[in-house]
């Protein structure tokens, strides 16, 4: 398991810029967030099913070294352009084939869709769940005037049996009854 703050600090000096993170158990999540977060699938797939729309990726920032590629992203519904998720991913480049690496670096498709499309043997491991109170940066990205609570998760993805990818995924706040 990896540290959520280490992943956030690839792009922010302090994780509190994004929000306040409080680890929770799956039973503490409202049903709609359980549907979105408590599974061993790619969030791209979960988001598209939940929103009944394909999603596009906008890469906000990159952090690339000789061994790792990381990006901070938002996912947008194709149906109306609304932002539905914020995320950070870091991948060990040595675990990727050249075609997958090239497609990720093109920044045109969400990671989950790329991995599914290339039919690479992958296993998604849910690591932690969090209640998230958005602070200034997440409020700005989600286009909300006040911090509406949401939930998020960290997950690790194995490719061909090797730990390869770490992700932080935070859906935009849902309006639930």
Residue 83 clears pLDDT 80, i.e. is over it: yes
Higher pLDDT, 63 or 160: 63
Residue 115 clears pLDDT 50, i.e. is over it: yes
- Where are the domains positioned within the chain? 4-170
- Residues sharing a CB contact under 8 Å with residue 43, sequence separation 6 or more, in sequence order: 36, 75, 85, 87, 112, 155, 167, 169
The tokens of 137 are what? Answer: 């940066």
Across 127-153, b (16+ Cβ under 10 Å) vs e yields: ebbbbbbbbeebbebbeeeebbebbbb
Q: pLDDT tens digit string along 104-114?
A: 999 999 998 89
| pLDDT for 177 | 38
Residue 65 clears pLDDT 70, i.e. is over it: yes
Query: Considering the domain 4-170, what is its CATH architecture?
Result: 3-Layer(aba) Sandwich (3.40)
Q: pLDDT tens digit string along 17-63?
A: 999 999 999 999 999 999 999 998 889 889 999 999 999 999 999 99
β-pair type (19-24, 122-134): antiparallel
Q: How confident is the model at residue 116 (pLDDT cuts 50, 70, 90)?
A: confident
Question: Could you tell me the end-to-end alpha-carbon distance of the chain, in angstroms, rounded to an integer?
Answer: 34
């Amino acid at each position: 398991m990896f540290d959520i703050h280490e992943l956030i600090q690839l792009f922010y000096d302090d994780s509190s810029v994004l929000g306040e993170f409080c680890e929770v158990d799956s039973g503490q999540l409202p049903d709609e967030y359980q549907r979105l977060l408590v599974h061993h699938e790619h969030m791209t797939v979960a988001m598209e099913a939940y929103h009944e729309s394909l999603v596009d990726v906008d890469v906000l920032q990159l952090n690339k070294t000789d061994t790792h590629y990381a990006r901070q992203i938002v996912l947008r519904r194709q149906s109306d352009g609304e932002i539905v998720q914020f995320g950070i991913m870091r991948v060990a480049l040595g675990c990727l084939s050249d075609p997958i690496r090239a497609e990720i670096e093109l920044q045109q498709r969400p990671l989950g869709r790329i991995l599914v499309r290339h039919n690479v043997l992958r296993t998604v491991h849910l690591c932690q769940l969090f209640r998230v109170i958005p602070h200034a940066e997440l409020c700005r990205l989600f286009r909300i005037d006040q911090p509406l609570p949401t939930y998020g998760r960290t997950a690790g993805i194995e490719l061909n049996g090797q730990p390869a990818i770490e992700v932080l995924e935070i859906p935009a706040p849902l309006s639930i009854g």
